[in-house]
Amino acid sequence: MVDGKNNERNHVMNKLNVIYEDNHIIVVEKPCNVPSQADNTGDEDMITLVKKYIKEKYNKPGEVYLGLVHRLDRPVGGIMVFARTSKAASRLSESIRTKDFSKTYLAVVKGKFEEKNGRLENYLYKDEALNKSKVVSKDKHGAKFASLSYEVLEEKDTLSLVKINLETGRHHQIRVQFSNINHPLYGDQKYGKGEMNTQIALWAYRLEFKHPTKNEIMKFECKPKKIGVWGKFDL
């Protein structure tokens, strides 16, 4: 019985890449294709994994509190922060609402850009039935404003490595907005002619926010491994 518990503990510890933790927050790397929270697939999700990690590491009895303050789409990997207290959850959520919470992504997109820096502003509408968003006019009922800025870091063959500062958090925002300017993300079969059996090249690589209990700006980075299409670039 003890061996079984130790094996489960080791599984959780090995599976989760913890970048930073204290009594109020925990910052981790979300692997690609792991849901941020439980969904109808029943697959293991990040909230469950992080709760197990905290419970095992600190021998916590009963239910572990963990606040989800932002999400990453299931195919997207990268950095996430979770709140370990309700106070931290409330303050981080407020930081996101007031745009004092910076999220930066890396993406490999198709094609080359004439301008190496740019800004995209659109109105997006989510089709719930299709689980897909599209660019629409601002007059359409249910349309939401979406904005981001980007910088082209490197070009290889017919692909570009782009750094993206996300200013609003709309459904599939980065994928939709880049597809709309004819630069779909590599591997994106929903919004472009993605390569079959290829992981979408979108990675949440940087977070910056004020610590919920300290007067301190926290900055974290986590870059994708140089495998697949990421291996073409100097990350």
Check pLDDT > 70 for residue 116: yes
Q: What is the pLDDT of residues 120-134, one digit of tens each?
A: 999 999 999 999 999
Q: Which two tokens stand for residue 35?
A: 């849901």
Domain residue ranges of the chain, discontinuous segments joined by +: 1-98, 101-206+217-223
Find out whether 203 and 190 touch, Cβ atoms under 8 Å: no
Q: Is 101-206+217-223 in the same CATH topology as 1-98?
A: yes
Average pLDDT over residues 5-31: 79
CATH no., domain 1-98: 3.30.2350.10
User: Rounded mean pLDDT of 39-66?
Assistant: 92
Angle between helix 2-15 and helix 46-58 axes, rounded to 10 deg: 130
Task: Report the number of secondary-structure helices (H) and strands (E) in the chain.
Answer: 4, 11
Q: What is the pLDDT of residue 193?
A: 80
pTM as predicted: 0.90
Average pLDDT, the chain: 92
> Would you name the residues annotated as active-site residues?
73
CATH tag, 101-206+217-223? 3.30.2350.10
The pLDDT, as a whole number, for residue 235 is 86
Work out the angle at residue 25's Cα, subtended by the Cα atoms of residues 19 and 27, and round it to the nearest 5 degrees: 25
Bridge partner list, 162: 107, 152
In the predicted structure, residue 233 carries a pLDDT above the cut 90 = yes
